[in-house]
Structures are given as C-alpha cells and as structure tokens.
Amino acid sequence: MARKSRKQIIATQLETSVSVAEYKVYRTALYARLSADEHCRAEGTTIDNQLYLLREYVKDKPYLQVLDEYYDDGVTGTKFDRPDFNRMIADMRAGKIDCIIVKDLSRLGRNYLEAGDYLEKIFPFFGIRFIAITDGYDSSCPNLTEDGLIVPLKNLINDIYAKDLSRKVSSAFLMKQKQGKFIGMSAPYGYMKSPEDHNKLIVDEDVREIVWNIFHWRADGESLTAIARRLNECDIPGPTRYKYLRGWVKSERSKSGLWTVSTLARVLENPVYIGDMEQGIARTALYKGMKTTRMPVEERIYVKNTHEPIVEREIFEKINEQRQKYREKFHSNYGKHDSVFKEPNLLKGVLVCADCGKNMSLWRDRSGVKLNPPRVYYKYICQTYQTLKEKGCTRKRLNKKDVESAVEEAIRLHIKLFLDGKKALEQLNRTEQARQINAGYQREIIEACRRKSKAESRAGSLYSDYADGILSESDYLYAKEKYLNEVAAEEQKINELQGLQRRYEKGCKEGSKLETIIEKYKNFNNLTEDIIQSFISKVLVYSDERLEICFRFKDELEELAQVVEERRDEICRVKEQLAMAANM
C-alpha cells in the first residue's frame, strides 16, 4: 500500500475535521498577499495563483460561502497596515464575515507578535474561524497541529525569515550605494534608469533644458516663487505630473502636480544634477527594529562623478552659497526667535482648499525687524494661489487662531451631542417599558435558539437516513440544504436580536470606536493634532472662507440620534398599549 504524503494526510484531516462543524455555514473571506520581491522569485508566483488555490479549496465545501476576495499585491508581510487587509478586518468588525482562509500562515503576516495577536486574541474574540491551507491549520480543530503549538513556531520562523531577508537586502543596498549605484524606486526628475543597468542614471533629454534653466534662473537671482509661476504658466508639468504622463506612476493624485517652492528647493539642493550621488538620506532596517529615520549629512553616502551632469558645478555651488547666506540673514533677523514663535501646524494634511483640492499651508508673516521680538502672524493659505495667482485658484488667507477655534468648537459640540444622546438613551432604557421590551427580545432569542437547534438536529440525522437507504442522494442533498438555510436564517435572527438587546443593556453600539475616542478626549483642555486626527478626516475651505468640517464618525453619531428617536417612539407605543389594555 502506497504511503500517503504529508499534504494528503493534512487534506484528509481537514476534510474529516469539519464533520462536527459542517452544519454551520461560514461567511468566508479569501485573503491573498504577495510581497514585491516575490514577483521575481519563482515562475507562477502570482496573486491569481493564490486566489485560484483558495477558490479550489472552498469549491466543494458548501458550508464555506465566499462573501468576498481580498488581496494585497506587492505589499510586505512585515506590516499589517495593508489596504485590502484593512478592508477585510473592517468587514470582520462589522460582522459580515466569520471565516478567513489563506494559503499559508506567512500570507497573514511575517511579524511574529502581531500575527500571534490575530490568531490568539483578535480572531477568537470576533468568532472568526481561520484556515491556512498548506500549513494544515484550522482554528476550529487545533488538535491537527499539536494543540496549536506549531502555529507560534511557524509565526516565529516567518518573523525570523523576514528579518534575515531585511539584513541581507540592507547589506546589498549599502554596498551598491558605496559603489555609486542608484538604488531608488524611481529616478530623480531630469534622469531615467538606464535600460541596460537599472542602477545607473542617464539624462532624460526631454527635460534636460528645463532643469538647466531652473538652476540658471535661480543663479541669476530669480525667486523660487517667480520660477514656479513661470513654469506653471508655460504648462510645464511638475515632477510628479511628468512621471504620471510618462506612465511611470499611476497615482491619480499625481495628475495635477504643479511646480511649487518646496519642489524647486528639493531640485536645487540635490547634487545628482552635477553628476554626484547622495544616498542613505533616510534609512529603515527591519532587523534592527528601526522605523524610517532621516540621517544627518555626515552619515549619508556621497559618491562623486557617478553619471552625466546636467548643471555646471560652479552654478550649483553658487546657488548653495546664496542659500546659505539667505539662511544666515534670516536667522539674524527673525529665525533667532523660532523657538519662541514657531507654532505647530495642527491641521497639517486635514485643512484642504475646496477649489483646487490641495492641502492648505501654514504661512508665517513677520513685521517690525527692529522689534525684539518681532510681530508674527500665522495664516493658512492656498499654495496653488500663492504659486499661480488667479490662474490656479482663488485667494484664501485665514487666521490660524480663527480656524483652530472653529474646529475646536465643532469637536466639543460633536462630543456634547454624543454624550447627550448616550445619556438620553440610558435614561430611556431604565424605564419599565424598556425592560418589558428587553424581556420580549430575550423570549424571542430563546425561541430562535430552539428552532435553530431543532434544524441542526434534523440536519444531523439526515446522513443516517441516507446511509440506510431511506433517502436518495438528491433528497438528502435537498433536505440538507433546506435545514442549513434554516440554521443560517435563525442564526442571523439571533444575532440581530442580541444586537438590539445589547443596545438596551449598554445604551449604544457595543465596541463603538467613537465612544472610545470620546471617553479619551471628552475633557480635553487644549486642541492637539491627535485630537483633530481622531475626530476629523477633512476640513474644506471655500472661496468665501467658509469651512466645511467632515467628521470621521458622522454615521455613528447620526445612528445614535436615530436610535434615541426610535426608542422614544417604541416606549410611547408600549405605554399606549398598556393604557388601552387598562381601560378595556
């Protein structure tokens, strides 16, 4: 008799292990992930192949009903902040899925601690059945993997593998940098990667003259604002838009990339345009547990004459000398007061121009050079208007304190509305009528559980009738599907009733993220960037300086108000029914 392979044994075990739980129908998510470096490792290593494997696995398992497919292509497994993974977790928290299937444990993630948290805490808390096909792991039957002991070991191996790979990749990159080879994802504006050697830069002849002009205009004393305006008025695409038009980047945000003062400053400071290579400006090393860190100038890797220059070295040095003189003059007049007057931009990335869609910038105006300290004014301005004037956008200039006061007032009102709604709901839930309604839900839950248990029992006895020849195969399959549908319907009803019942007990949606944030910040004294980011997704500024504040949890607040209104109506109906019954 031929010996079975390990994969055949696992497959048989997984098939037989579901006999106990097969009558529960799982709303299933299929998740696939592939790192960027895995694309070039082995032929056939694709997201489509992973998804095909997952689809084949569930094809003959009617108790695994696929709700949706999720995949992250070209995303590292060392981080759990992935677009489709986040979407899947959001669906899990919303109660839309109760089973997740992956090819193997490394697809979930290669971070030992976080993967362990999901498997041992998060998934069990939300009642998620987790299956890793090729690892033979099914959380509904941990005995298949020695009581689950193999899972932490595999997660640790995945974590060690990722860190070892990080160490090797970091060493290889460092060696290339010291050799003057370019290792960036995309070439700087004005250059392209050589088709023969992607670590070598060649001049992009289409924009050579533009780069040369920028440096010479600046060397002749033209301001950065004037240069940016000149380029934009001539409809010369900025670096991000140019890459989008060439098909080198696909982000829709790059469509309208304009020349700005900050973009020009980055170009003028980059020694790549005189044929030198400066790399290692920011470094990340997973194996050291490092986050991305900006390195000081002396620790960066600088190699001269690595490729063809676009600009003369004398011009580049002249511009840098001018910049240094300007910085010294600025510091002697105003910059020495930076420690006193440099206020944080609390609305960074949140305050947006409603007309052009660009983030508003914090502008600092000073007056009174001879005063010590000088007068300082902070304004939020539209950077597009600042660069292009009326051709680009409309003028917007808002006082920083006025905007922050309006945002703070809106957040405090948001908190008050939630707390008032929660208090009103709790008061309504303490009435006698609410207790009667809650008891009614409990009776309905007990009755639904009884019907579900009865349907499960009938479904469980079908196979014996089929094996004894009492039922034909078609009758068996028809009856089984019928009872499974009954079980699923009753289970859904139980979940809905339990949700309604919890609202009477808890006062509002259980596990509400908005409630957690409000409890944390309800008594805040001063507005901070964390508070703004927690409550607000965007603040739009219109041409009449009107603000539109977009809250992150607007739906939850509206739902709470609706529940309060519905609860009042419900209790009023019960009161009327009791009054009618008393008068009969």
Q: Which of 121-125, 164-168, 332-336, 521-525 has the highest mean pLDDT?
A: 521-525
Q: Is the pLDDT reported for residue 451 higher than 70?
A: yes
340 CB-near residues (< 8 Å, 6+ apart): 373
Residue 21, pLDDT above cutoff 50: no
pLDDT beyond 50 at 560? yes
CA distances to 15, 74, 115, 138 from 431, rounded to whole Å, are 52, 55, 45, 46
pLDDT of residue 486: 87
Confidence of residue 23 (pLDDT cuts 50, 70, 90): low
With a cut of 90, say whether residue 214 has pLDDT above it: yes
Q: Would you state the pLDDT for residue 406?
A: 92
Higher pLDDT, 177 or 417: 417
With 60 as the cut, is the pLDDT of residue 151 above it?
A: no
Question: What pLDDT score does 1 carry?
Answer: 43
Q: Between 64 and 283, whose confidence is greater?
A: 64
Q: Residue 166 — very low, low, confident or very high, per pLDDT cuts 50/70/90?
A: low
How many other CB atoms are found less than 10 A from the CB of residue 71?
A: 21
Per the model's pLDDT, the better-predicted residue between 538 and 566 turns out to be: 538
Question: What are the pLDDT digits (tens) for 43-97?
Answer: 446 788 888 889 988 988 888 889 999 998 877 767 778 889 989 998 888 888 9
Sign for the CA dihedral angle at 184, 186, 189, 192 comes to positive
What pLDDT does 6 receive? Answer: 45
Other beta carbons within 10 angstroms of residue 404's beta carbon come to 18
In the chain the domains, ranked by start, together with CATH numbers, are 6-164 (3.40.50.1390), 181-323 (3.90.1750.20), 405-583 (no CATH)
Nearest-angstrom CA–CA distance, 471 and 248: 63
More confident of the two residues 520 and 581: 520
What's the average model confidence in pLDDT over 428-440?
75
pLDDT at position 312:
92
Cβ atoms of residues 133 and 53 within 8 Å: yes
* pLDDT tens digits for range 237-263: 888 888 888 887 776 666 667 788 888
- Choose the weakest-confidence range: 85-99, 164-178, 345-359: 164-178
Overall size of the chain counted in residues: 584
Span 366-390, pLDDT tens digits = 655 555 556 677 889 887 787 777 6
Confidence of residue 392 (pLDDT cuts 50, 70, 90): low
Looking at residue 517, its pLDDT comes to 86
pLDDT confidence band for 335 (50 / 70 / 90) = low
- Taking CA atoms, 557 is separated from 320, 508, 552, in Å, by 54, 10, 10
What are the angstrom distances between the C-alpha of 94 and each of 130, 209, 468, 489?
17, 55, 43, 18
**Angstrom distance (rounded) from CA 488 to CA 498:** 15
In the predicted model, what is the mean pLDDT of the chain? 77
Q: Which residues pair with 379 in a beta bridge?
A: 363, 399
Distance CA(285)–CA(453), nearest Å, equals 54
Q: In this predicted model, which residue has the larger pLDDT, 546 or 37?
A: 546
Return the axis-axis angle of helices 554-583 and 432-467, rounded to nearest 10°: 100
How does pLDDT run across 465-474, given as a tens digit for each residue?
777 778 787 8
Higher pLDDT, 214 or 500: 214
pTM score of the predicted model: 0.49
DSSP letter at 359? B
Report the amino acid identity of residue 303: V
Say if residue 193's pLDDT is above 60.
yes
- Amino acid letter, 277: M
